Amino acid sequence: MRVHHLAKAAVGDVDPQPERLPGVPCRCSDRFALRRALLPARPDDPVYWSQCDKCRDVMSEDEYRSWTRRYPSMPTAASSRMNNHRPSH
């Protein structure tokens, strides 16, 4: 059943599967191992945009934006979806 896209659209940014961020190297390890960070378990915890699978380095959305600006050849497909990641509470 290919209901993935419909389900994803319905629930917004709640995605149980970590979304990979291809083309974006990690800050510390330069490994292309970044994925979307999961939402924090507690409301008071900081919300991060990405996390490295290798070294667990996390970036906030602002840090991620600044970081990806260094790479003008970076795929920009993710940038439009960033606007949908604003916490609504």
List residues binding Zn ion (CB under 5 A): 26, 28-29, 52, 54-55, 57
- Distance in Å, CB of 10 to Zn ion, minimum: 32
Tell me the C-alpha distance between 40 and 17, whole Å.
14
Judged by CB, which is closer to Zn ion: 20, or 54? 54
User: Token digits for 33?
Assistant: 């191992």
Tell me the C-alpha distance between 13 and 38, whole Å.
10
Judged by CB, which is closer to Zn ion: 8, or 38? 38
Nearest to 22 by CA among 53, 56, 63, 61: 53
Judged by CB, which is closer to Zn ion: 67, or 78? 67
- Distance in Å, CB of 83 to Zn ion, minimum: 26
